[in-house]
Amino acid sequence: MQEALSLARFRVALDGPADFDGWRRAARRLAAERVPGGEVEWSVGGTADAPSSLLDNAHPSAALSVPREFVTRAETVICHSDPERFAFLYRMLLRIVAEPNLMKIASDPDVRRFEAMEKSVRRDTHKMRAFVRFRRIGAEETERYVAWFEPDHFIVERNAPFFVRRFTGMRWTILTPYASADWDGERLAIGPGASKTDAPPDDGAEDLWRTYFRSIFNPARLKVKAMQAEMPKKYWRNLPEASLISGMIAGAEDAAREMIEKMPTTPAPHHAKVQARHWPAPQPDDRKGDGAEATTLEELREAAKGCRRCPLWREATQTVFGEGPGAARVVFVGEQPGDQEDIAGRPFVGPAGKLFDAVLDEAELDRRLTYVTNAVKHFKFEPRGKRRIHSKPNAGEISACRWWLDKELALIRPELVVALGATAAQSLLGKAVPITRMRGEVIERADGLKIFLTVHPSFLLRIPDARDKAAEHERFLADIRAVKQLMAA
């Protein structure tokens, strides 16, 4: 932020379209001097002349007392695309200094305008979170995800931390006409804007979004107006699933009728316990079969897509099947896919997967030579706000999904299976075992299969103390090195 005096007017050049800190510094000093709004010109970028006396700290900005609520809300309002926003906020600031209760006067035209701008930015922020669609480019090491989005307001900087939290384990870039956000797995960088042609075209990942969208679409609840309000047409052209909307709206009545006919009677909550004790007979999606006849991993994977053996398929995006060569000598078994695995359809690609990869690298064990899978193949979670929080699978779900794990192991016939954590061990051994006490041990099952026990990588992610974490990392690394040695034996 630079400020300069020019012909009895103050010109403030801000660093960016949503440079709140720059605006705030300048506005506080100008307001402390009671400089009228009409004498200040605000712009983005550009250069200013020599600093004015307002910059010499002669009037410490602390002299100005402004309600915290205004400051917090102004930080949102400044993201609005209205070119007058800086001047408007400055006018509000001057008024608030004179009338500290201004924000409580709901009928005041400035307050109403402030609220409308704030609401619009919030809505745009929410839309960006809901409608950014990443497209995968590159493969393996170079793999990254790129999305194109056209926000109404200057919200990229404000929204980027959300995407970092949501997609920590992926490398991604979001391009917009005015700015871009790039996450390389460790560092967030905000860069210049781009054009739509900089974003990659359609790819395989789009099919996944369409599948997901179709699976969450409930025609019986369809309210076209509300749907269009939530997903305004403006966003449709960047959404892979948008191609399905008109067809689904058109067929909604039939689809709703069919759906109601097929709908099971929802059991009372306590039935879950009864169900867990007397798990119902397998009920595969008939179109795909139950995998009993599968002679290859590919056939088995295909069958698992229609798995209905336990209720977890209902809320999950898709079955996350194992991955790796059919002749792998070692199979790693985790607990269940997490949030990112559920979206990507691949095991161990999120934060725990990244840690797992790093330790395998350190142990010089090539993941591509191993088969990696989970005891439970659907993501189990609790929705909390917009987040999906991992929830541990219960004994019934573990035992229902063992059908697939047993078949994977029967087809691969590995020399060693590594149970990553308690759920995997329970599935592989048919009973709960104390992992922390037994880690590093190899247990031979009645059928001769050798099971190596160790902790789950997400256990390391949850350790808050850096020294403890480093120590556990070493222990996990030692376990993986032991696995490598057993493979070589």
Footprint of ligand URA (CB under 6 A): 334-338, 341, 347-348, 350, 352-353, 374, 458
Q: How far is the CB of 384 from ligand URA (least distance, A)?
A: 18
- Between 31 and 312, whose beta carbon lies closer to ligand URA? 312
Neighbours of 359 (CB within 10 A): 19
Q: How far is the CB of 349 from ligand URA (least distance, A)?
A: 7
Residue in the shown chain whose Cβ atom is closest to ligand URA = 334
- Between 159 and 458, whose beta carbon lies closer to ligand URA? 458
- Between 78 and 417, whose beta carbon lies closer to ligand URA? 417
- Between 79 and 170, whose beta carbon lies closer to ligand URA? 170
Q: How far is the CB of 380 from ligand URA (least distance, A)?
A: 11
Residues written for the chain: 489
- Between 117 and 401, whose beta carbon lies closer to ligand URA? 401
Q: How far is the CB of 45 from ligand URA (least distance, A)?
A: 44
Q: How far is the CB of 429 from ligand URA (least distance, A)?
A: 17
- Between 97 and 433, whose beta carbon lies closer to ligand URA? 433
Q: How far is the CB of 41 from ligand URA (least distance, A)?
A: 54
- Between 56 and 140, whose beta carbon lies closer to ligand URA? 140
Q: How far is the CB of 481 from ligand URA (least distance, A)?
A: 21
Cα 379 to Cα 334: distance, rounded to the nearest angstrom? 12
Q: How far is the CB of 321 from ligand URA (least distance, A)?
A: 11
Neighbours of 452 (CB within 10 A): 23
CA 365 to each of CA 342, 361, 417, 444, 470: distance values in angstroms, whole numbers, following the listed order: 25, 6, 15, 23, 20
Q: How far is the CB of 373 from ligand URA (least distance, A)?
A: 8
Cα 319 to Cα 377: distance, rounded to the nearest angstrom? 6
- Between 194 and 420, whose beta carbon lies closer to ligand URA? 420
Are the CB atoms for 219 and 205 separated by under 8 Å? no
- Between 159 and 374, whose beta carbon lies closer to ligand URA? 374
Q: How far apart are the first and last CA of the chain?
A: 65
- Between 151 and 414, whose beta carbon lies closer to ligand URA? 414
Long-range Cβ contacts of 226-235 (<8 Å, 24+ apart):
231/130, 231/131, 232/127, 234/150, 235/127, 235/131
